[in-house]
Structure 1
Amino acid sequence: MPKIWLITGSARGLGRDITEAALAAGDSVVATARDVARFADLESRYPGRLRGFALDVTDATAAQAAVDFAVETFGRLDVLVNNAGFGHISPFEQTEAADFRAQIDTNLYGVVNLTRAALPAMRAQRSGHIINISSVGGRTATPGLSAYQAAKWAVGGLTEVLALELAPFGVKIISVEPGGMRTDWGATAMANAPALLQDYEPTVGAILGMLKAYVGNAIGDPRKVAEIVVDLTTRDTLPAHLILGSDALHVFAQAEAARQQAAKEWAPVSTSIDIEGVDLSFLSRGSQS
C-alpha cells in the first residue's frame, strides 16, 4: 500500500532528495518549505501525488495545519520526516542571541511542533514512522556549532524517549545521523561567520579552515541517504539512532571512546555519593516492566 509522507525542508538538499525518492517509490508526499513554487516541477511530474505546503516549522499552529492538510488531502499520514534545519559556525561567545535562538527554534522546536501535530493521527492509525534528520553532531561536539549541536543533542534525547513511549501503539521513530554530505549545508554554515576573536582561532578557526576544504568534497551522497530513509519506512524495528557515513562513524567512535575512558577514570567519584548498602535491584525490575 502506498504511503503518505510529510517532509519538512523539501525544497533543496537532502529534503529534496528524500521527496524525490519517496515519489519514485510510488508514494505520495506533502512537501513543505517557505516557498512552494520550488515544487512546481515535481507537481507536474507526479500529478496528484505531490502537494506543496508553505510552512515555517517554528510555528506550531502552521505545523498542525500542515498535518491536517496531509490527512485531509490523502486520508492518512504514514511518514513524517523532520528534515528542516540549518547551522551557523561561530564561537558561542560571538553568536548573537537571536541567531542562537533561531537555530534552536528550527532544529529542535521544528521537530517538536511537527511531531506533536502528527502523533494523534498516527496513534489513531496504530502505525507510522517519524524520521528525524539529525547529525553525528547530535552525539559529538564541534567547536563553533554550539547552537546547532545543542539542538541536535536534544533531538536525539527526544527521539529515545519517544521510541519508548510510542512503541506500544505501533509508531516508530528514529534519529538519522549523517556525517558530511554534498549539500549546501557547509557553505550556508560558514556564510555568516564573524571575524573571530584571536583566542578562538585554534578551535573555531581550525574548523572553519577544515570546512573550506571539505565543502564540495564530502563523502556522503544525499541520494543514498534518501534511499535509506525510504527503506526505513518499510521496517518494523528501528534503532533509536542510525549513523550514516564512514566519517560519521569515525568521529563518533572517537567521542564514545573518550566518554568511556572518562567514565572509567571518574567511576570512584561517581559512586562516592552512594548511601552505604544501596540496593539497585529496583533498576532491573523497572527495565523489565
Structure 2
Amino acid sequence: MSNIWLITGSARGLGRDITEAALAAGNNVVATARDVTRLADLESRYPGQIRSFALDVTDANAARASVDFTIATFGRLDVLVNNAGFGHVSPFEQTEEADFRSQIDTNLYGVINLTRAAIPAMRAQRSGHIINISSIGGRTATAGLSAYQAAKWAVGGFTEVLALELAPFGVKVISVEPGGMRTDWGYAAVADAPALMPDYEPTVGAVLGMLKAYAGNAIGDPRKVADVIVDLTKHDTLPAHLILGSDALYVFGQAEAVRQRAAKEWAPVSTSIDIEGVDLSFLSGAMQS
C-alpha cells in the first residue's frame, strides 16, 4: 500500500534523494521547496504521483497550507519528512544576529511549523510517521556551529517529547541523525565564513579546514540514507533517535564517554543539594523511555 508523503527541502541534497526514493517505492509525494521549478523533472518522470508546493518552512501559515494542499490533493497525510535546513560555520561572537536567527527559524521552527500543522490530521486518522532530519550535531558539539547545533539539539528534545505524546494514537516520531553525507551541505556551510579573529583560529579555524577538505568526500551516501527513511515508514516501533553513519557513531561515542566521565566525577556535587531522606519513587511514573 502506498503512502502519502509531505517532504520539505525537496529540491536538492538529501531532500531530493528522499523524494526520489519515496516516489520509486510507489508513494505519492507533495514535494516542497522555495523554488519549485527545480522539481519539474520529477513531475515529468512521475506523473500523477508528485505535486510540488512552494514553501518557506519558517512561515507557519504556509506550513498549514502545505498540509491542507496535501490532504486536498491525495486525501490524507501519512508521512511528514522535516528535511529543510542549513548551517553556517562561524564563531558565535562573529555570527550576525540575522544569520543566527535564520538558522534557528529554519532548522527548528520549520520543524515545529510543519509538525503543528500535520498532527491534527494524523491524530484523527490514528496513524502516521513524522521523520525529523537532524544531525549527529544534534547530540554533539562542534566549534563554529552554535546556531545550527542549538537548533538540532532542540529538534532532538522536541522529537522525544512528541514521541511520548503521540504514541497513544499511533503516530511515530523519530529524529534521524546522520554524520557527513555527500551533499552540498558542507560547501554551503563554509562558503560565507567570515575572516576569523585570531583567537578563534585554533577552534573554528580547525573546523573550517576540516569541512573544506571533507566536503565531497564524506562517507555517507545520501541515497542510502533516503532508502533508510523509506524503510522507517514500514515500522510500527521506532527509536526516538537513529544515528546513521560510522563517523556519526564514533563522534557520538566519544561525546557520550566525556559526559559519563564528567557525570561520575561530579556526582557528589550533583547529589549534595538533596533534602535529606529524599524519596525518588514519584519519578517512576513520570519518566518513560
Determine if the TM-score, normalized by the shorter chain, exceeds 0.5: yes
2:125 aligns to what? 125
Aligned to 2:231: 231
Question: Which residue number corresponds to residue 260 of structure 1?
Answer: 260
Separation in 2, partners of 1:261, 1:74: 51
Q: What is the CA-CA distance between 1:285 and the residue it aligns to?
A: 3.6
Q: Which residue of 1 aligns with 2:100?
A: 100
Residue 269 and residue 4 in structure 1: after superposition, are their counterparts in 2 closer, same or farther (change >3 A)? same
Q: What is the CA distance between 1:183 and its match in structure 2? A: 0.2
2:31 matched to which residue of 1?
31
Amino acid at match of 1:108: L
CA distance in 2, matches of 1:55, 1:285: 41
Q: Which amino acid aligns with 1:170?
A: G
Deviation string, structure 1 residues 237-261 (Cα, Å, up to 9, x no partner) = 0000000000000000000000000
Alpha-carbon distance in 1 for matches of 2:149, 2:286: 31
Runs of at least 4 residues off by over 4 Å: none
What's the offset of the Cα at 1:286? 3.2
Q: Secondary structure at the match of 2:174?
A: strand
Q: CA deviation at 1:212?
A: 1.2
- The percent of aligned pairs where both chains have the same amino acid is 85
Cα distance change of structure 1 residues 58 and 285 upon mapping to structure 2, 3 Å threshold? closer
TM value normalised by structure 2: 0.99
Aligned twin of 2:46? 46
Number of equivalent positions: 288
Structure-to-structure mapping, 1:1-289, within 5 angstroms: 1-287=1-287
Q: Distance in 1 between the 2:220 and 2:70 partners? A: 31
Residue 186 of structure 1: how far off its partner (Å): 0.3
Taking the aligned partners of 1:95 and 1:39, their CA distance within structure 2 comes to 32
Shift of 1:287: 4.0
The offset of 1:284, in angstroms, is 1.7
Take 2:284 and 2:106, find their aligned partners in 1: how far apart are those partners? 38
Q: Deviations over 1:186-243 (max 9, x none)?
A: 0000011000000000000000111111111000000000000000001000000000
